[in-house]
Structure formats: structure tokens, C-alpha cells
Structure 1
Amino acid sequence: EEFGVKGLVPAYLDPKTQLQDLLTGVSFASGAAGYDPLTAKTANVIPMSGQLELFKECIKKIKGAVGEERAATIISKAIYIVCTGSNDISNTYFSTPFRRPHYDINGYAEFNARYANQFLQDLYGLGARRIGLYGLPPIGCVPSQRTIGGGKNRDCYEAENQLAIAYNTKLSGVIDSLKAVYTAPNTKLIFFDIYYPLLSIIQNPAKY
């Protein structure tokens, strides 16, 4: 908050959200969604494409309130955080029979990286210039997944972690490829690899 960032970013769809919230940052996230459209469909939540549509709606409201020029400045100088994908692994790939017969781990990671790439291009096309893409955590070490796939000792579900690693490799590559295309001085595209820092905390809690 000392840097001017709100402690809590309100949901765009919250009825209590005001114009000032739109001007200073809102969240379009829908819990249980993912890059894979099937993930949101099976959970009956708003898919990534739908979240983009909400962002377009938000842009129109901002333009109506402050004008085209100031709206363009607000949109281009805002920081955009994209953080999704864990549900693709735990709720779609390993928990339903729809994807595994058609994709191995690397294939499924590549499949979703294409959706991530398109999402980021669409976001850029709407005026976003400062985008942070979060990689996946060691999802197989989440308590629920250890119970499901960790055996009697409830170890980390290694198959899920291997898919998370593959995912992160592909997502990092997406950012690298987009950096080569979007080279304007005010453009910042960053990949945050959270997998190994979190794994270290899980495996060595006493250090922290």
C-alpha cells in the first residue's frame, strides 16, 4: 500500500464496486477457471475468454467517465497479473477422462500454452502493456492432492508436479516469444516462476 497499490483488489462484478475502483484496479478472476476452456465449463465459472469480455466492458466504462485519452493512459500504465492453470491440472487433466487419452503431459502443457499465448495477445490488443504471468506452484503438494495421489504417506503427487513443471516451461517460452514481438519501450512482460521457491518452503519449512 505504501507504493500506491490497494491492499485488496475488489471484484469487478461486485455490486458494491464503484467507478473509483475501476480507475484504480479491479479483479476479473473467476475461481476454478483455467487456460483450458473445459476447466471453466466443468466448474460452471467464467472462462478466460469471458473475463476478457468483462475487461472490454470495463474499458468502455472508463472511457465514458474520463475520456479516450486518459483512459488509454490508465490502461497502458496499469499492472496486469495473470495467474491461473492449477485447476487445469488438478480438476481437468487428472480428475476427468476428457484430456488424458489425447495428450501426454508435455502435449497438454503445449495445448494450454497456446491458449495462454492467445489470451496475452488479446490482453495486449486491448491496451495492456505491463503484464506479469505467474507460473504454476507445485500443485501436487497441496494437501488435497497429496491425499488423492500421494500414497499412504501423503507424499507430493509427483505426476501433477511434473505437469506443473512442463506448464511453466511452456509459459516461460510464451513470454519470451511475445517479448520478441512486442518491443515498445513501455512494454513489460514478465514471467514469475514460483514453483521452486514454494517447493523449498514445503520441503524445508524450518528454514523459513
Structure 2
Amino acid sequence: MTKAKCSEQDKAFVSALVDNEVSLDDVQTDDIDSQTLARYSLIGDAMRSETAPSIQLDIAASVAKQLENEPVHAEFGQQQAQQQPAASQQNAQVISGGWWRGIAQTAIAASVAVVAVVGVQQYGTSDSEQSDLPPLQSQPFLGSASPVSYSSEPALDNAERGLRELQKQRIGALVMEHQRQTREAARIAANDESQSKKDQ
């Protein structure tokens, strides 16, 4: 049963056979292609999640089989023979061109280095006119620089200092109140004592 001969009825029969809906006694082995049966069996196993842990496909054999069926062109050998002398000429040009390219790159790099050294040396010399200006001007041309406040202490230190001052003020107020109450108590005690002496 090849692909050309396989009808819908044959496909349904093979599917029923794989799904165990038809017994093997009812099947004639001549009617069923073994590859078709293997494919349907694999599909059924995959749908039921009963596939083997490793499926081994022989891809190399199928590629080799396809290459055997591929027609061979007789001109290929002649083209290869003609291309070899041309390739050797191109390789010689590339090798010689690569040599000149390396020299050119080295010459360019050397000239850039010379320009950099001469430029740094010229920049280092100072004239009397240029000595008045700093190399980098830090102030703008117009206007003036605006002052920026700079606190040497972090904000947390300022907050702690404020809390300490507040605590000192509260303690001072409590001490003053204590002294006032002590004086008042002493005055009351003195008045009571003088009253008791007068009463006696």
C-alpha cells in the first residue's frame, strides 16, 4: 500500500487497526504497508503519551539515499579544473595586497602618533598672551557666579542639635519651676512657723 494507492478507506482501516478497534485476525498483511502502519502506530502512541523515551531517526541514511538519486552533472569536474588556476592567481593578489595593506595601516598609525606628539608639545609651550588665561575657564563670559550654600554638617546632625537645645530649654524650665516651688514652700513654712509662735 503506497501513498498513491492509499485511499481514505485504507487510512481509516489502518487507523482502526492501530487503535485496536479491528483484530489482527481480520487483517491481511499484504494489504497493509509496514511503513504506513509504523507511522500510524507512532502517531497513536504520541497521542496517548506512550512514546518511547528516545526516538531514533536515521537522518543520515535518508540524506544519503536522496543524494544517490540526485543527478550528477559532468561539467562539474571541468569547472573545478578551470577554477583552480584562477584561484591561485587571486590568492597571489590577496597575499601581495595584504602585505601592502599592512604597510599602509602602519604608516597611517605612525603619522597619527607623530601628529599627536607634536600637538601636545606645541600646546605645552606658553606665550605671554596665553599665560593670562587659564587652560579651562571656570566662570562664564557674561554674568557672575551665583553663590551656593554648603553645609559641612549633615541634616541629621542639625536635627539632633535642635532636639538637644529643646531638651535643655525644658530642663531649664523644670529647674526654675522647682526652685520657685522650693522658695514658695520655704516661705509657707516660715509663715506657718511664725503663726504657730504667735499663737503660743
TM-score range, shorter chain: under 0.3
Ranked by relative contact order (alpha carbons within 8 Å, sequence separation 6 or more), the top structure is 1
* TM-score normalised according to structure 2 size: 0.19
The answer to which structure has the higher helix fraction is 2
The answer to which structure has the higher strand fraction is 1
Larger C-alpha radius of gyration, 1 or 2? 2
* TM-score normalised according to structure 1 size: 0.19
